[in-house]
């Protein structure tokens, strides 16, 4: 997947990869995934590509 926001730390990148893997494995719902992205947008409103 790679970095999709400019100022992500390694920890944030790892967390992103983990969230995507959980979603693909069916461990989290679409709603939880959307909440994760909403938090990212709040944290990095100008860096979202």
Q: How do residues 5-18 score in pLDDT, each as one tens digit?
A: 566 678 888 888 89
Per the CB < 8 A criterion, the answer to whether 15 and 9 are in contact is: no
State residue 10's pLDDT score.
Answer: 80
Could you say which residues of the chain have pLDDT below 70?
A: 1-8, 46-49
Task: List CB contacts of 19: < 8 A, sequence separation 6 or more.
Answer: 28, 33, 36
Confidence (pTM): 0.60
pLDDT value for 15: 86
């Amino acid at each position: 997947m790679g970095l999709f926001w400019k100022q992500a730390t390694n920890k944030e990148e790892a967390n992103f990869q983990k969230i995507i893997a959980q979603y693909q494995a069916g461990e989290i719902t679409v709603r939880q995934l959307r909440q994760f992205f909403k938090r990212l947008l709040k944290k990095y409103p100008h860096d979202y590509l």
